[in-house]
Chains A and B, each alone.
Chain A
Amino acid sequence: MPADRMRGIFTRDGFRRGFMEGMALLPGMIGFGVVFGVLAGSVGFTVLGASAMSVFVFAGTAQLLALHSWGGSGTLLAAVVAVVAMNSRYILFGAALQPWMRGAPPLLSYASLFLLVDPNWAVAMRERDMGRRDIAVFVGMGVASMICWLLGTIAGSAFGQLLGDTRRFGLDFFLPAFFLSLACDFWKGRDDVMPFVAGGLVAVMFDRYVGGSWHVLGGGVAGSLAGAFWPRRRAA
């Protein structure tokens, strides 16, 4: 890959910016990791086992769901189904990232995608809308998220039983709140009503009748298509 084509696509400065922004998410990510660690410990995971799962699977909601049916001989199938159900939204996230990453070497893109989580995806979309295409921001934030997630997992599985009910710290609300503030950030005007509302309505139906996190995939597809085909008030 010639150096000039790569320029601006993976910079040290971008990595630092993403990493710092990811570190600012520390309370939420660590808290979420603690929640997982506590529950993992309660179904008999060792600290090492819980940590290995957090590093290699790196999907909070999927790991939590997998714990629900952990233990019997059907654990393998249940755990894989939990991952697919909860991570289905990432199929859509990855599709949205692809045009933004065009021009980067495939190996770099596919390695970066291992670190795809909700916050760095949302920040990548924000960067995209600002006309920036530095993948290192996405990777830096992913690395910071991984570190926080792992620290939380270790802390939770080692000492978590001392904490009691983590819901009272409001940690479960951190990610929704982050998405809400990003939605405010993305909001430009009336054209945004259609995808947001249509996505929300379809998601509620999926949430009610399907379960898992299929509502994010279903609502995301429906809302974005509605937004794409709804006549726009201003030129795109």
Chain B
Amino acid sequence: MSIDPNTTAGFALIVAAMAVAAYLTRIAGFFLMSFVSVTPRVEAWLKALPLAIMGSILAPIALHGGPAEYAGFAATVAVFLWRRNDILAAVAGMAAVAAMRAALGG
């Protein structure tokens, strides 16, 4: 297939294909789940899902991270426990990472 992304038509076609693919990933699970009845086991699965996702997102970052990322994680947890505010904690984590990267020259 030869779609040239440097032409307007080619670019538009590729963006359209990406948009369809992205929307399909957003509705696929929702669509399939509408045929599933929520038994206690399914409810337990859905309850466990957010933390499983969060563990999955964070573990590789922790594994690949260095001192700056660890400082960021620590600052996030500390500020969350202090103020119980999700966004404030995230901003603190980001600031800690920026400060550490500046200090370490990385």
Contact = CB atoms under 8 A, between A and B. Distances in A.
Main secondary structure of the interface of B (DSSP, over half): helix
Interface in A65-101: 66, 70-71, 73-77, 79-80, 82-84, 87-99, 101
B48 A223 contact: yes
Interface of A: 21, 24-25, 27-28, 44, 49, 52-53, 56-59, 62-63, 66, 70-71, 73-77, 79-80, 82-84, 87-99, 101, 109-110, 113-114, 116, 122, 125, 129, 167-171, 173-174, 176-187, 192, 194-204, 207, 215-216, 218-228, 232, 236
B56 A91 contact: no
B17 A94 contact: no
7 contacts: A56-B15, A57-B15, A76-B17, A80-B18, A173-B94, A203-B59, A215-B56
A179 B51 CA distance: 9
Given A75-B5, A114-B26, A200-B56, A183 B41 contact: no
Contacts of A179: 54, 57-58
B9 interface: no
Contacts of B87: 21, 24-25, 178, 181
Contacts, number: 298
Contacts of A199: 51-56, 59
Contacts of A204: 59-60, 63
Contact of B30 (A21, A94, A177, A203): A94
Interface in B1-35: 1-6, 11-19, 21-23, 25-34
- Interface SS of A by simple majority: helix
Given A98-B30, A178-B90, A184-B81, A76 B11 contact: no
- Enumerate the 9 nearest inter-chain pairs by beta-carbon distance, A residue then B residue, closest first: A227-B48, A223-B52, A219-B56, A177-B93, A200-B59, A95-B29, A170-B98, A203-B56, A199-B52
Given A84-B25, A220-B49, A215 B76 contact: no
Contacts of A71: 5-6
Contacts of A58: 22
A75 B14 contact: yes
Interface in B31-46: 31-34, 36, 38, 40-46
Given A96-B33, A101-B30, 20 more contacts: A44-B6, A52-B12, A87-B22, A90-B29, A92-B53, A94-B26, A94-B27, A113-B23, A116-B26, A177-B89, A179-B58, A180-B90, A181-B85, A183-B50, A216-B56, A220-B52, A224-B48, A224-B49, A225-B48, A236-B40
